[in-house]
Chains A and B, each alone.
Chain A
Amino acid sequence: SYVLTQPPSVSVAPGQTAKMTCGGHNIGGKSVHWYQQRPGQAPVLVVFDDRDRPSGIPERFSGSNSGNTATLTISRVEAGDEADYYCQVWDSVSDDYVFGSGTKVTVL
């Protein structure tokens, strides 16, 4: 089945930019979606279809996708951005919704 690879952790100082990757074979040909999960809470969709934001999600969250890597970028990081972030795709070969293992973002 399709595999998505995410780094376990990213650390960033407040006000700086956090970038986290999501690797997969030819992932650029798929639509990638990103979720934020704060401790003890349900996931929240922050980016869908590679780069679109749901209403209410700040412009500081942006996404890109090309080749074998998708990227979620958080600009001007705030303390409230500290969370686990998961990428996700739908794999048409297996008819599965696939999640990456998640990246824990720590705000220093």
Chain B
Amino acid sequence: QVQLVESGGGVGQPGRSLRLPCKASGFTFRNYVLHWVRQAPGKGLEWVSSISPDGNKKFFALFVRGRFTISRDNSNDTLFLHMNNLRPEDTAIYYCARDGDIYGSGGYFDYWGQGTLVTVSS
């Protein structure tokens, strides 16, 4: 069965960096667009970033552009979110999610990980 397992969350100071891995299993990883979605405490869902199956195309929400980057390791079935220059408003649960359409972007998220909590605080 499809599984996505995030890790790497914790407490980070403002201005510092964190890297979140998401280990996938149960599907052909290299065939799918993958995404990061976050949820601040008590708030709604917010798309963060997406990456194409080959890793060559990357997309970011305006509020993280220039601070976060996304990458993937198709030989190890792992997605990454690299978070730089962290701000208190980046405090959230970060979910990795698989795109609903093989090869392309179906525009939705059919499987989600359990999430990892990032807290930005001094």
A100 CB contact (under 8 Å) in B44, B107, B110: B44
Task: Give the number of chain B interface residues (Cβ < 8 Å).
Answer: 23
Q: Is B103 in the interface zone, CB < 8 Å from A? A: no
B46 CB contact (under 8 Å) in A33, A95, A99: A99
- Residue in A42, A86, A96 whose Cβ sees the most chain B Cβ within 10 Å: A42
A42 CB contact (under 8 Å) in B44, B107, B112: B112
- Taking CB atoms, residues of chain A closer than 8 Å to B108 are 31, 33, 45, 48-49, 88, 90
Specify the chain B residue showing the minimal Cβ separation from A43. Answer: B112
CA distance A5 to B6 in the complex (A): 30
The prevalent SS among residues of A at the interface is strand
Q: Is A107 in the interface zone, CB < 8 Å from B? A: no
Structural contact, B107 and A89, CB atoms closer than 8 A:
yes
Q: Is B7 in the interface zone, CB < 8 Å from A? A: no
- In the complex, per-residue mask of A27-39: 1 if CB is within 8 Å of any chain B CB, else 0: 0000101010100
- In the complex, per-residue mask of B79-122: 1 if CB is within 8 Å of any chain A CB, else 0: 00000000000000001000010000111111111110000000
CA distance A41 to B95 in the complex (A): 11
Q: Given A48-B108, A97-B107, A42 and B47 touching (CB < 8 A)?
A: no
- Taking CB atoms, residues of chain A closer than 8 Å to B100 are 33, 45, 48
Count: A-B pairs, CB below 8 Å: 61
Specify the chain A residue showing the minimal Cβ separation from B59. Answer: A95
B110 CB contact (under 8 Å) in A48, A86, A89, A96: A48
Specify the chain A residue showing the minimal Cβ separation from B97. Answer: A43
Structural contact, B61 and A96, CB atoms closer than 8 A:
yes
Specify the chain A residue showing the minimal Cβ separation from B48. Answer: A97
Q: Least Cβ distance of B122 to chain A in Å?
A: 27
Q: 22 A-B contacts, Cβ less than 8 Å apart?
A: A1-B62, A33-B100, A35-B45, A41-B114, A42-B113, A42-B114, A42-B115, A43-B95, A45-B109, A48-B106, A49-B108, A54-B110, A88-B109, A90-B105, A95-B59, A98-B47, A99-B44, A99-B45, A99-B46, A100-B44, A102-B44, A102-B45
